[in-house]
Amino acid sequence: MTTPLLGTSFIGHSRATGTEACGFGIQPGTGTSLEPAYHSATPEEVEKAMALAAAAFPAYSALSGKLRAGLLRAIATEIEGAVEDIVERGLLETGLPEARLRGETGRTTGQLRMFASQIEEGSWVDARIERADPDRKPIPKVDLRSMLRPLGPVAVFCASNFPLAFSVAGGDTASALAAGCPVVVIAHAAHPGVAEIVANAVIRAAHATGMPEGIFSVLYGGGRKVGQAVVKHPVTQAVGFTGSRSGGTALMAAANSRPQPIPVYAEMSSVNPVVILPGALDRGEEALAEAFFGSLTLGVGQFCTNPGLVFLPAEKGGAFLTKLKSLVEAGTPGMMLNASICQSYADSTAAFAATPGVETLARSANQAGPGQGAPAVFVVSIGDFLKHEALQGEMFGPATLIVRGSLGEIEAVIPKLEGQLTASIHATTEELAAQASLVQALQGRAGRLIFNGFPTGVEVCSSMVHGGPFPATSDGRSTSVGTMAIYRFCRPVAWQSFPDAALPAELQDANPLGIRRMDPAVPA
């Protein structure tokens, strides 16, 4: 380890001194405690972090996109320089393989650079200009110009299943910093050491680029104690969260109970339904089963986009099920992220198996070791599926439920599903055209529609939508992946009749930044 781990929070540029231990990193499978012990931020330290964030906001939000882009790129470079430490600690804390840790590090640095390019170019502010017309009748038209401005300090909760890409310097942090918002991160108990390594990288980048102290803090102590205090603090203006439905709804309740309610952008629960039409089966049932099994078991089923629900025509699909059964029975158990997730997976699969009408199609014949999850597939009729609301729930692991019914029954049940991150449809192009109402129903339930593919694998780009109706997310109008994520942490502001010199550069007549603007007076 290049830099020794201290086990304390980051309060701006300083390290906390709280002495109340809140736990260790734990090695999955063995349950071994990993040094050092981590210590909870005290109420006074939380208050200091919030005060620093409030003090930093005016100066940081006023920086040019180019300067903030410099910070994001510096963070990416510092994280790359710490990758060996990240992998060394991550292998101990998370149970993830080395390739996944290195790949997720690359995704994290790629996100940071993506947002850097976005704010450096500058058009994301959505500048709109309506010029004055003093001769307009019956009343003169005033000069009115608007653009997006940052909300203020943002609380970001690290995710248990993504120690990098959705954690300390992940997408929520990157998009908030890009928008001009200081960030206060609440570290996750599942990977405290990785959090400390990445936090050190961010602080080094902030120093190197001359950023105001307080644009970034990381607090240990958990969501129920420290996290709730940050969400309820009057300085906090928005929340980013990836995790359980219970955790997300608790934060939503806390945010709504404040004297000034604030938005919570929570990614929570999704089973990512897959609809298989007869034409897709006719192309090759065994190949389809193999591709589905790969998506189901990717990451031991611990991605928010693993397919946990399949709708299969009742009159077809025998070869698909036979092949899937053989793959599951031969499937290798994998190490899960932590003991809590492993136990939850065991409990949920047991509950599904015990539900009236549910048949266990297959379980892995290989014995799962401590901390491991093994593949499982269940089958139920569409009638029994509708009788038991719990069957819409998430098993969060390498298990799926196959629901069998007629095409008419499948289309009728889609609007009754909870909100989802994704919905996939496997069909021929002719079937797709003939099933426009089915596609429309899926669109009403999900943030991303997939044709002849599977939901695992989220491209980080400008057009990605990683969101969906509740409970997939708390606000289906947003995304937590891709450049649109920046809009969660902004609000529109208009300037009426301001002199040109007093306007932000983005709205001045000369357009000194050269950005795209909505300006009827300037030809496109």
Among candidate residues 181, 304, 342, 490, the one labeled active-site is: 304
Alpha-carbon distance 205 to 443, whole Å?
A: 41
Residue type, 231: V
Question: Which residues touch 469 (CB under 8 Å, ≥6 apart)?
Answer: 418, 419, 420, 444, 445, 446, 447, 476
SS3 letters across 363-375: ECCCCCCCCEECC
Longest dimension (CA), the chain: 82
Alpha-carbon distance 24 to 415, whole Å?
A: 44
Q: Which two tokens stand for residue 23?
A: 């736990």
Task: Kindly calculate the radius of gyration of the chain based on its CA atoms and give it in whole angstroms.
Answer: 25
Please measure the distance between the N-terminal and C-terminal CA atoms of the chain and give it in whole angstroms.
55
* Residue of 388, 397, 454, 391 lying closest to 421 (CA atoms): 454
Question: Which residues touch 338 (CB under 8 Å, ≥6 apart)?
Answer: 26, 28, 94, 95, 160, 190, 371
Q: DSSP labels for 297-344?
A: HGGGG-STTS--EEEEETTS-HHHHHHHHHHHHHPPPEE-S-HHHHHH
- Asked if residues 108 and 166 have their Cβ atoms less than 8 Å apart, the reply is no
The alpha carbon of 166 is separated from its chain's Cα centroid by a whole number of angstroms, namely 6
User: How do 10-11 and 154-157 pair as beta strands?
Assistant: unpaired
461 is catalytic: no
List residues bridging with 143 in a β-sheet.
Answer: none
267 is catalytic: yes
Q: Which two tokens stand for residue 361?
A: 């199609």
List residues bridging with 334 in a β-sheet.
Answer: 373
Among candidate residues 104, 267, 285, 411, the one labeled active-site is: 267
Q: Which two tokens stand for residue 123?
A: 């058009």
Q: Which two tokens stand for residue 178?
A: 């890009």
Q: For 23, what's the count of Cα atoms within 13 Å in the CB-facing half-sphere? A: 16
DSSP-derived letter for residue 435 is: T
Alpha-carbon distance 191 to 199, whole Å?
A: 12
Alpha-carbon distance 227 to 156, whole Å?
A: 9
Question: Which residues touch 317 (CB under 8 Å, ≥6 apart)?
Answer: 276, 281, 285, 404
* Residue of 150, 233, 182, 175 lying closest to 55 (CA atoms): 182
Query: Rounded to the nearest 5 degrees, what angle is found at the Cα of 90, between the Cα atoms of 335 and 457?
Result: 65
Residues recognised as catalytic = 267, 304
